[in-house]
Amino acid sequence: MEDRVSRRSFLRTAAAVTVGAGAAAGCSLPRPSVTGDRIDSDGIPPSETATTQFRGGLRRQGVSPEATVPTEVETAWTVPDVNTGDHTAAKASPLALPAGDLLIPGDAGGLRRVTPGGEVVWTADITDVSRGMHGTPAVANGTAYIGAYDGALSAVDLETGDRRWRAALGDAIGSSPGYHDGTVYIAVEYNDPSGAMFAVDAVDGSVEWDDQRVTDHPHSTCAIDREAGRLVVGSNDGDLYAWSYPDLEFLWTFSTGEPIKGPVATADGSAFFGSWNERVYRVALDDGTEEWSLDTSNLVMTGPAVELATDTVYFGNHDGTLFALDIGSGNAEWRFDTEGRLIGCPTVTAEHVLVGSHDTTLYCVEKATGRETWRVGAAGTVSSTPLVRDGAVYFADRASRDYVADGEGETGKLRKLVAAE
């Protein structure tokens, strides 16, 4: 407990220094406000690590090495009204809880807890603003932490769906939070356009640290690599930003010249990410030097999946191409073509890669060869990250074009796929 208190005291001291640096850079913004109660009112210290969070952990690698998928699938059930808009950013993704239930946020503004049988346990109305939620929660302390397009980070009780606290941090949050050692890390957007990285106390929502040098709407989800001692995040200004971790001293930027919109993944001492300059990168975490990059011939918005066991990086681009690259050289090992843009993240399992496409289809391909195993159609585009749990596949699609146009089509659904009988 002494280490935890010492670290939090350090973060609060660092906050004063960094906020001053942000103001000097031209950011003059109101301090965040918090409403609600503390989580551990009985004094129990918060968990060191999250139970589960987006892309499988703080490094955002997107790999589930023990998971397997059926060779043929059918839809077991759907939960409607998850997504009702057609914003082009990647939509929120289902998250598995240890007890077996799922959490699914949506652009309609609700966070749902759903059983493996498709029963909605509760729905928390997080926000009523346009675009709702696009990020995926981090779960710790019996709580789901989730940001929304109202610019607030919320803590929601897993058992009841009640909101424990709400921290108003900025004008919009489109990224997913990261959790470690009692602190929630989140990229926040302002209308200027500008932005910031925040570290927020998981117990009461108070701000421990922020750095407002990040500009032009950071929609990217940060990665924290504890082994390398780095926190990194991309932004629409085209830069990858890096801080030391856990002391959060700003270190360097790496510029691509065009927006970095997707999540960043880290592995093997490097950051992996794509840019709208039509390239995907591997950049050294220690000093921000480029190790390799690949011209993909179109915009890259997906967050790469990085599998160290096979030395492979998987990602997609706006051409609708799923790539498998050698992690050491960046050379393409195979390519798989879909008929629509790929903007959501791929998920890697024991033998397959799953990815959703703007052609309203979820694809499953062999990760060794890139050959298609199966495909499943949906009503709207598929930009959520697929989840594989207990041999089943879960994913969310977006509202159909007819629904967005006149309300007569289908809303975006959470879907469960199981082995076909």
Handedness of CA 352, 355, 356, 359 (dihedral sign): negative
Check: CB of residue 383 under 8 Å from CB of residue 51.
Answer: no
The two domains 1-56+93-218 and 243-338 share their CATH topology (first three levels equal): yes
Average per-residue pLDDT in the chain? 91
Q: What angle do CA 409, 137, 85 make, to 5 degrees?
A: 20
Q: What does the pLDDT look like over 174-199, one tens digit per residue? A: 999 999 999 999 999 999 889 999 99
| Whole-number Å distance between alpha carbons of 374 and 415 | 16
Query: What distance, in Å, lies between the first and last C-alpha atoms of the chain?
Result: 52
Tally of CB atoms within 10 A around 374: 18
CA nearest to 396, candidates 383, 405, 377, 410: 383
Q: What is the pLDDT of residue 346?
A: 98
Q: What angle do CA 194, 197, 203 make, to 5 degrees?
A: 135
Q: What does the pLDDT look like over 57-90, one tens digit per residue? A: 999 999 999 999 999 999 999 999 999 988 878 8
Q: Is the pLDDT of residue 219 over 60?
A: yes
Q: What is the pLDDT of residue 31?
A: 56
Check: CB of residue 297 under 8 Å from CB of residue 313.
Answer: no
Q: What is the dihedral of CA 345, 388, 308, 369, to 10 degrees?
A: -80
Domain ranges (residues) in the chain: 1-56+93-218, 67-89+343-421, 243-338
Q: What is the pLDDT of residue 42?
A: 67
The b/e string for 378-396 (b: 16+ C-beta within 10 A; e otherwise) is bbbbbbbbbbbbeebbbbb
Looking at CATH, the fold of the domain delimited by 1-56+93-218 is given as Lipocalin (2.40.128)
Give the Å distances, CA to CA, from 361 to 34, 49, 325, 375, 376. 40, 34, 23, 7, 6
| Whole-number Å distance between alpha carbons of 29 and 187 | 15
Q: Indicate the CATH number of 67-89+343-421 among 3.90.25.10, 3.40.50.620, 2.40.10.480, 3.30.479.10.
A: 2.40.10.480
Instruction: Calculate Rg over the CA atoms of the chain.
Output: 20
Q: What is the pLDDT of residue 177?
A: 98
**What is the DSSP secondary structure assignment for residue 4, as one 8-state letter?**
H
Number of residues that this document lists for the chain:
421
For 40, counting Cβ atoms within 10 Å of its Cβ (0-12 exposed, 13-18 middle, 19+ buried), the class is middle
Q: Is the pLDDT of residue 18 over 80?
A: no
User: In terms of CATH architecture, what is 243-338?
Assistant: Beta Barrel (2.40)
Q: What does the pLDDT look like over 309-341, one tens digit per residue? A: 999 999 999 999 999 999 999 999 999 999 999
Q: Is the pLDDT of residue 101 over 90?
A: yes
| Whole-number Å distance between alpha carbons of 186 and 221 | 7
